[in-house]
Amino acid sequence: MIKLKKITTFVVAMSIAFTITGIKSYASTNVNSVMTNNQKKVLQQYQGNIDKVYNSFEDKNETKVVKDPKAVNNNLKVQEVTDEELGKDTEGVYPTRSGVILVTRDTNILGVHYGHAGIVWTPSTTVEAQLSGVGRYPNTWQSRYKTVKGITVKDTTADQDKEVSDWCNNQVGKPYNYNFFNINTRSSFYCSQLVWAAYKDLYGMDIDPKKTVPSMIIPVDLPKQADIETVFAQWDE
């Protein structure tokens, strides 16, 4: 059963990877077409800061992992897959609670180290804004990515976090937002903008107040915010 589960998880992860790879060139064209020359200059100006945040994502000394205070029994259940089986180093229990935000540094667009973010909707399902648009995906980030952080907002309840995940789920089907500076649109979303917008619209909260790039929500920025707690971390061995 364990071997079958591993094979199924691998196939799902590879399918997602091939889908993303197949539309990367399309995404590149769209990003370049919607961004102004001034916006491109801003990205170049902050490139060093983006790289710094990206590189610190995997620094264990900068990562404090706590038991999820909003999970039943602090989310303390036996993990189905051990670190040895994963070939990775983990701390905490992989999130299945609705509303936990997942972040990885393992993706980039146009060669810029933005990372990727999504949110747990059900124990087995995440909602993510991928290049194909907002959709539902298997909650398989442990095997899909090398580095993962599960984070939660300190000043919300578990019920509020669930409302956030439901809000994100209600956006399923909307297209990808290629204009990373247009964070106030609700007709399209990029990954970290989606979870940011949910907290902004529902509770008036800015979960990314210290933005590395002004008017842009970078996924790897999210775990470093003062109002954020990390409840799970995974590093590649």
**DSSP per-residue letters across 6-71:** HHHHHHHHHHHHHHHHHTHHHHHHHHHHHS-HHHHHHHHHTHHHHHHHHHHTT-GGG--B---TTS
Mean pLDDT of 224-228: 95
CATH of domain 2-236: 3.90.1720.10
Quick one: tokens of 47? 């490139």
% of the chain surpassing 90 pLDDT? 59
- The confidence band for 210, taking pLDDT boundaries of 50, 70 and 90, is very high
Domain map of the chain by residue range?
Answer: 2-236
The Cα–Cα gap between 216 and 9 comes to 32
- Here the tokens at position 95 are 């999130």
Q: What is the pLDDT of residue 42?
A: 82
DSSP structural state of residue 198: H
Residue 63 confidence (pLDDT) above 90: no
**Helix and strand counts by DSSP (H, E) for the chain:** 8, 7
- The DSSP H or E segment spanning 144 is helix 141-144
